[in-house]
Amino acid sequence: MELREPLGPVEKEETLTEKVYRRVRTALVSGQLVPGQKLVHRNLSVELEVSPTPVREALLRLVSEGALDLDARGVAWVPHLPLATYEEIIELRVDLEGRAAARAAQLATAQDVASLKAIHDRLAEARRRNDTSKALEENERFHFGVIEIARMPVLRRIVENLWTQVGPTIRLFIAAPRPISRGLHPHEELLRALARHDQEAARAAVERDLRDGAKVLAPLLSSVSETR
C-alpha cells in the first residue's frame, strides 16, 4: 500500500538555473574563465540576461562541486589550482580516460575515427594559428568524443567534473611553448589504435597525451604558486 504523497510531475525543460550552470561550466572547461577571475552574480545576470537568483544558485552548485570558491564577501571566483590537486586529477584522468579509450577501441567504427581525425585536424590548425580558444574547444571535443564512442555515461560525468576543475588551467598549457615533437602526436597514435581496435595502444596513447601535457603544465603551476 502506497502511504506517501505523490511527488508530482517533473519539469520537462531545463530550468534557468540549469542553463546558467551549463553555460558557466562550459566557460570553465573551455578555459574561457581563468584562475583568479571573480564572478559577481549580479554582473553575470546582466551578461546572461537572466535574473540574479538562477545565477546565484548555479554558482553555488559549482562551488559545491569544487569548480569555484567563495571569497570572504561571498563572491564566487575561479580558484588557482594547487600543483598537488592537478597531479591527482591527472592520475584520475589517466585511469578514467584510458579506460574509455580502451573501450572505444572495441566499439569504434571507421566513421567514428574519421570524425575524431577531423577534430584533431582542426585542433592542429588552431595551434598553428595560435588560436588558443579554438584549440581548447577542439581539444575538449576530441577527448569527450572518445568517451562518447565508448558509451560510458557514468564515466563521462566523472570526467566532466575533473575537466571543470582543471579547465581554466589548461589554457596555460595550450598557450605555452612546447618542444617540437619528432614523432606522432598522441591523438594521432590514438586514432591509429582505434582504427585497428588495439585497446592497449589506445590506453597508452591517452596516457602519453596527458602525461606529456603535465610535463609542461606542472612547472608552470609550480612557478605560479611561488609568485603568489
pTM of the model: 0.84
In angstroms, what CA-CA distances link 67 with 28, 91, 163, 187, 208? 8, 18, 9, 27, 26
Q: Are residues 113 and 213 in the same domain?
A: yes
152, 103 in Cβ contact below 8 A? yes
Per-residue cell: 195: 582504427
User: Of the candidates 79, 25, 68, which has an alpha carbon nearest to the alpha carbon of residue 48?
Assistant: 25
- Could you report the per-residue pLDDT of 111-159, keeping only the tens digit for each? 999 999 999 999 999 989 988 888 888 999 999 999 999 999 999 999 9
CATH of the domain at 137: 1.20.120.530
26, amino acid identity:
T
Element (H, E) at 86: helix 83-107
Considering 77, 98, 124, which residue would you say is the last residue of a domain? 77
Three-state DSSP state, 70: strand
- Give the C-alpha separation, 128 to 131, whole Å: 8
The pLDDT confidence band at residue 24, using thresholds 50, 70 and 90, is very high
Q: In the chain, how many domains are there?
A: 2
Q: Are residues 26 and 136 in the same domain?
A: no
- φ/ψ region of 66 (left if φ > 0, alpha if ψ in -120 to 50, else beta) reads left
User: Of the candidates 72, 101, 85, 217, which has an alpha carbon nearest to the alpha carbon of residue 164?
Assistant: 85
Considering 51, 77, 103, which residue would you say is the last residue of a domain? 77
Residue 228 lies in a domain: no
* Enclosing domain of residue 186: 83-220
Could you give phi then psi for residue 10, rounded to 5 degrees? Answer: -90, 160
- Give the C-alpha separation, 41 to 60, whole Å: 10
User: Of the candidates 191, 89, 90, which has an alpha carbon nearest to the alpha carbon of residue 145?
Assistant: 191
Per-residue cell: 228: 603568489
Q: Are residues 187 and 87 in the same domain?
A: yes
pLDDT of 1 higher than 50: no
Maximum mean pLDDT: which of 66-80, 94-108, 177-191: 94-108
Q: Are residues 60 and 169 in the same domain?
A: no
207, 215 in Cβ contact below 8 A? no
- Give the C-alpha separation, 84 to 14, whole Å: 36
The chain-wide mean pLDDT, for the chain, equals 88
Residue in the block written with cell 577571475: 37
